[in-house]
Amino acid sequence: MMINHACRKCGFLVLFFLMLLAANGLAQPKQPLKLWYKQPSGRVWENALPIGNGRMGAMIYGNVEKELIQLNEHTVWSGGPNRNDNPLALDSLALVRQLIFDGKQKEAERLANRVIITKKSHGQKFEPIGSLQLAFEGHENFSDYRRELDIERAVATTTYTANGVTYTRQAIASFPDRVVVMRLSANKAGSLSFGATFATPQKRATIATTPAKELTISGITSDHESVKGMVQYKGIVRMKLEGGTLTANDTALMVRGANAVTIYISAATNFINYSDLGGDADKRAADFLNKAYAKSFAAMLPTHVAGYQKYFNRVKLDLGTTEAASLPTDERLKGFNKVADPNFVTLYYQFGRYLLISSSQPGGQPANLQGIWNDKINPPWDSKYTININAQMNYWPAEKTALPELHEPFLRMTRELAQTGQQTARDMYGARGWAAHHNTDIWRATGAIDGATWGVWSAAGGWMSQHLWEHYLYSGDKAFLADIYPVIKGAATFYVDFLVEHPKHKWLVINPDSSPENAPAAHQGSSLDAGTTMTNQIIFELFSTAIRAAKILNKDAAFSDTLEQLRKRLPPMQIGQHGQLQEWLDDIDDPKDEHRHISHLYGLFPANQISAYRTPELHSAAKTTLTHRGDVSTGWSMGWKVNWWARMLDGNHAYKLIQNQLSPVTPGSRGGGTYNNLFDAHPPFQIDGNFGCTSGITEMLMQSAGGEVHLLPALPDVWQAGSVRGIKAIGGFELVQMEWKAGKLVKAVVRSKLGGNLRLRVPNAVKLVGGTGLRPATGNNANIYYQVDATPTPIISEKAKVQPIALQETVVYDLPTVGGKTYTFVAQ
Ligand code: FUC
């Protein structure tokens, strides 16, 4: 009796313990980070799985009978070197400005459409090369099908059984070898027979085979909007057979009876840089191919995986795992808003990092609106760079998720725009420095495009320059700062010349200006205005950055003084009648406006001018604005909102946005969300939302832009326990490890690369293991990377009711650190 009773009790205890573990998400075995499916992609591109090495991108459909490997190369763009400034702008500038100051925004818009918006190219297109098609006869009936993308190794695998034979296809876009390779094998000798050819939407492509039995595609990209296509591209496919025979006709290769086949695909163009097309596409493609072909797939695989994991393995995230994690990815996506699946957030988070590693590599082109994956000859928005939010968003995860090298293509594009944008500043606005409008492309065009609603916005230079500064803040690399300082200075110089005095307020404002893509009804539905909040924030931030950079480099004292004087005359932020942060100088925001752009919250994120601790009134106004705009929106808008709610220190609301973003959508349907392959849906596919959400999840776990390192600033109730390793804070701090339980910090290990004061804000009291020196924080943070300029006092409408937001208790410490040392904190 006694024994039975004891056993029952112990059974209950075990059950209780298991439930506890399950609640903490720790009961399930660790799930590999894989996207996987029980069915082929069919014809749906948004089902296919992306691989890439920053030079080549490929979408693997995993179709059994007709496999498709859709191919991109990062420099295959329509057109050639060109400019699109409108020289009429300068003569009409005074008139446009006068109309705006007179409140005749619509008239100004009509004029701007004639004199500011380009008469030339509205930007060129990122074009696909085409698809390699593999046709397998007799494979219409198959079983045991599975396709997957292993994002821990960057390998896409398809397996199935047909006619009693199990077939395996593995594909990689090799990082060191710069080629796409697929290895096909079967568990029975002599079973591989298929034909291979290219299909392409390119109009001037030649598909051919060579005497060496290679399949090639070559041509010249499209003419577009009066710009002649000048990019010559070449793609080469060469196969290595184990057994069997290879034959070729004019446009196809045929494999018969092979045991295994390795398909090597290389691609290259004549593109050297935005003004030089002097490369040799044929030679480059052949060189990459020949080097790779000398190696077996087995030899290439480990170096590929190592090249990938060098980046990927730097960050680990564990939010717990439940049973849902064992389902196929499309089923997990469907169920995400219904069942607890915290591991799905980890998968999506790491997929964002996977996509950045795969689409952005040093020396390559930056990730565009679709990263490096596009199958359309006329892609949405040309698959180019929208630089009033989207391209910047692509790079939000770069520094904080420990991928700083991958920021390089975007930083280089900024430097290049600082070259091409000088003529734009001079010819269009009579200003020094450099200017870029809301879009650019591989030719680094900086004119105003699309129409005044979108194109009349010249704050891209300021925003993009901040990325250069951010790279410095994270790395402390002073030589880099000295190198890029002229770019920051040039952007600031443009605004020095372009600011004008507002006749009523006497503030210095940009005119013409707009708050990206929004158009207030109170201004005749026109976007044009002077001194919009976002632009004021960007210039405030840029001037502050330029002043600080000049001081660090010990130069340009007079220029800094000018910037300081001008900065004082910028409009402060304003809290309007509804308690909202005003988007425009006039208090005209419509609380029912749900526009996807909430540009005036730039000051909250990515900038740090609005903060819970430093500017509580503005923080409250930002919340009102966020609430007015609502949650559900386009993909990237929801991605931005995750970051904003993290900065609101509201983890549950940030999580709600993750749920909104992880809503399943199918191609052609309306509403933002996520496709089966976890690509973000604007819709259509736009990669920014993937990157924005990855940044936002990091911001929920650690923030460092506000003058301190804040751990667990926005933890949602559903992530009560978890751990993260390897994310980065500015000033060279690495969060080597952090564990939390029941919403409280259990342990944090911080490595200091550069030394300096570590100001640490945590949700509960901690102690330093094996050391002294941890003290309650006092005064300003002395760390040079954590200096934050005071936000000018806002103007608050008499009608506004500004409710201070109740904040959770936190504890703030200072700890002097030494470069190279690691510090461990545990809960008290
Ligand atoms: C801007 C956004 C759109 C879209 C496009 C690429 O124009 O307003 O939503 O993201 O860029």
Q: 394: Cβ below 6 Å to ligand 1?
A: no
DSSP letter for each residue of 230-267: --EEEEEEEEEEESSEEEE-SSEEEEEEESEEEEEEEE
What's the CA dihedral at 521, 510, 121, 466 to 10 degrees?
-110
Q: What is the pLDDT of residues 631-684, one digit of tens each?
A: 999 999 999 999 999 999 999 999 999 999 999 999 999 999 999 999 999 999
Q: How far is the CA of 598 from the centre of ligand 1 (A)?
A: 12
Atom of ligand 1 nearest to the CA of 454: 7
Nearest CA to ligand 1 atom 11: 386
Atom of ligand 1 nearest to the CA of 597: 8
Nearest CA to ligand 1 atom 1: 386
Q: 682: Cβ below 6 Å to ligand 1?
A: yes
pLDDT of residue 29: 62
Residue 34: name the closest of 326, 464, 401, 380 by CA.
326
Q: 382: Cβ below 6 Å to ligand 1?
A: no
pLDDT of residue 11: 42
CA distances from 821 to 710, 732, 825 (A): 20, 11, 13
**Contacting residues for 60 by C-beta, under 8 A, at least 6 apart:** 48, 49, 50, 51, 68, 69, 147, 149, 156, 158, 171, 182
Count other Cβ atoms within 10 Å, centred on residue 232: 19
Q: How far is the CA of 386 from the centre of ligand 1 (A)?
A: 7
Q: 369: Cβ below 6 Å to ligand 1?
A: yes
Beta strands in 610-732 (DSSP E): 673-674, 680-681, 702-703, 709-711, 722-725, 727-729
Q: What is the pLDDT of residues 337-394, one digit of tens each?
A: 999 999 999 999 999 999 999 999 999 999 999 999 999 999 999 999 999 999 999 9
pLDDT of residue 286: 98
Q: How far is the CA of 437 from the centre of ligand 1 (A)?
A: 14
The percent of residues in the chain predicted with pLDDT above 70, rounded, is 96
pLDDT of residue 28: 55
pLDDT over 80 at 274, yes or no: yes
Atom of ligand 1 nearest to the CA of 450: 7
CA distances from 492 to 89, 416, 419, 435, 537 (A): 21, 16, 14, 10, 13
Q: What is the best residue among 126, 374, 381 to mutate for testing ligand 1's pocket, by most ligand atoms within 8 Å of CB? A: 381
Q: Distance between CA 549 and CA 787 in Å, rounded? A: 12
Nearest CA to ligand 1 atom 10: 390
pLDDT of residue 17: 38
Q: 634: Cβ below 6 Å to ligand 1?
A: yes
Q: How would you class 828 by CB atoms within 10 Å of its CB: exposed for 0-12, middle for 13-18, buried for 19 or more?
A: exposed
Strand order in the sheet with 702-703: 702-703, 709-711, 756-762, 811-817, 775-776
Q: What is the best residue among 370, 449, 686 to mutate for testing ligand 1's pocket, by most ligand atoms within 8 Å of CB? A: 686
Q: What is the pLDDT of residues 11-60, one digit of tens each?
A: 444 333 333 344 444 445 678 999 999 999 999 999 999 999 999 999 99
Q: How far is the CA of 636 from the centre of ligand 1 (A)?
A: 9
Nearest CA to ligand 1 atom 8: 517
Q: How far is the CA of 517 from the centre of ligand 1 (A)?
A: 8
Q: 386: Cβ below 6 Å to ligand 1?
A: yes
Residue 725 phi/psi, 5-degree rounding, is: -135, 135
Q: How far is the CA of 116 from the centre of ligand 1 (A)?
A: 20
Tell me what the pLDDT averaged over the chain comes to: 96
Count other Cβ atoms within 10 Å, centred on residue 745: 22
Q: What is the best residue among 125, 374, 390, 682 to mutate for testing ligand 1's pocket, by most ligand atoms within 8 Å of CB? A: 390
